């Protein structure tokens, strides 16, 4: 008895669908520009080389957007350069989402100046005064006379709130401060403005045209970040809904593996456990 052609075609299509469901997998990652502009895309490329059937959708628009995406179910991983806020945890709980935190790497917020600035060291008090607008002229902190141009991240950024907590005692930014979408934009603005000052994650601190100020004599380097000598250090995170499984769990494990942390160090982060 011959097998009907329609039956054979149905079996073939079912087999193709099963293979596709196993091999063609996509990981959606949203959130922090600090993680998502450089580190995570590099990790994703390395991971894809080991898992050819996996694709990534990465949107780096600020930590708040990543946490919100995990809560509303539109991302597998939320990148964040800050801890989730109590209000976000409550919103997650109300939707039955179990916000689970994974420390990815450590970072130091580098205060950057124009490369031609005569200033190389700032006191913590001076940084606070500059970014809150209490000091508005470089002459007040030992520089050449000139109005200070302050560049910050926008309000959806975890770096925006972290710097406010670490450097400004949670005081408001100067009304004249200019909000930028990402670390690279801040570095670009400071590089083009002799009176500019801003802050960026370590991975963006070597941009052309800028230099990193020491803070009370300390540079944001691995040793000073780990020892606590550098005052503007912080962890960075992935957030997931509960403990991750499948390919998402594999990607997080890769991020935290020796290879993943080596990549983090090459990009400019301080590896976990270093």
- The mean pLDDT of 167-193, rounded to a whole number, is 97
DSSP β-bridge partners for residue 113: 197, 211
Parse the chain into domains and list their residue ranges. 25-105+235-267, 107-233
pLDDT digits (tens, 9 = 90+) for 246-269: 999 999 999 999 999 999 999 999
Q: 10 Å Cβ neighbour count for 265?
A: 14
Of 4 and 121, more confident: 121
Model confidence at 6, in pLDDT bands (50, 70, 90)?
low
pLDDT of residue 10: 53
pTM, whole model, 2 decimals? 0.87
Model confidence at 17, in pLDDT bands (50, 70, 90)?
very low
Model confidence at 155, in pLDDT bands (50, 70, 90)?
very high
What Rg, from alpha-carbon coordinates, does the chain have?
22
pLDDT above 50 for 15:
no
Alpha carbon 122 to its chain centroid, in Å, reads: 25
Average pLDDT over the chain reads: 92
Do 107-233 and 25-105+235-267 fall under one CATH topology? yes
3-class DSSP state for residue 260?
Answer: helix
CATH superfamily, domain at 25-105+235-267: Periplasmic binding protein-like II (3.40.190.10)
- The mean pLDDT of 63-82, rounded to a whole number, is 98
pLDDT of residue 273: 77
pLDDT above 50 for 174:
yes
Closest alpha carbon to 119 in 111, 107, 129, 109: 111
Q: 10 Å Cβ neighbour count for 99?
A: 18
pLDDT digits (tens, 9 = 90+) for 87-106: 999 999 999 999 999 999 99
Q: 10 Å Cβ neighbour count for 133?
A: 16
What share of the chain in percent tops pLDDT 90? 89
CATH of 107-233, one of 3.40.190.10, 2.40.160.20, 3.30.40.10, 1.20.140.70: 3.40.190.10
Closest alpha carbon to 173 in 205, 128, 141: 128
Model confidence at 123, in pLDDT bands (50, 70, 90)?
very high
pLDDT above 90 for 31:
yes
C-alpha dist (Å) from residue 234 to 14, 82, 108, 109, 237: 49, 8, 6, 8, 10
Closest alpha carbon to 205 in 225, 227, 190: 190
């Amino acid at each position: 008895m011959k097998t009907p052609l329609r039956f054979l075609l149905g079996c073939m299509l079912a087999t193709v669908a099963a293979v596709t469901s196993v091999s063609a997998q996509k990981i959606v990652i949203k959130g922090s520009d600090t993680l998502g502009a450089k580190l995570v895309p590099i990790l994703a490329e390395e991971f894809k080389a080991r898992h050819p059937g996996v694709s990534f959708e990465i949107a780096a628009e600020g930590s708040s957007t990543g946490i919100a995406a995990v809560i509303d179910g539109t991302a597998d991983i939320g990148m964040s350069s800050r801890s989730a806020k109590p209000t976000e945890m409550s919103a997650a709980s109300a939707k039955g989402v179990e916000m689970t935190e994974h420390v990815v790497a450590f970072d130091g917020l580098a205060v950057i100046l124009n490369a031609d600035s005569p200033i190389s060291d700032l006191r913590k008090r001076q940084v606070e005064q500059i970014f809150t607008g209490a000091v508005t002229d470089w002459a007040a902190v030992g520089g050449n006379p000139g109005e200070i141009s302050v560049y910050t991240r926008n309000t959806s950024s975890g770096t925006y709130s972290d710097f406010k907590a670490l450097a400004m005692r949670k005081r408001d930014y100067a009304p004249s401060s200019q909000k930028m979408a990402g670390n690279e934009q801040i570095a670009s603005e400071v590089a083009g403005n002799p009176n500019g000052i801003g802050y960026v994650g370590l991975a963006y601190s070597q941009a052309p045209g800028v230099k990193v100020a020491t803070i009370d004599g300390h540079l944001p380097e691995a040793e000073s970040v780990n020892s606590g000598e550098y005052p503007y250090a912080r962890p960075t995170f992935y957030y997931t809904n509960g403990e991750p499984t499948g390919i998402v769990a594999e990607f997080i494990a890769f991020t935290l593996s020796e290879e993943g942390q080596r990549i983090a160090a090459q990009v400019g982060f301080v590896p976990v456990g270093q």
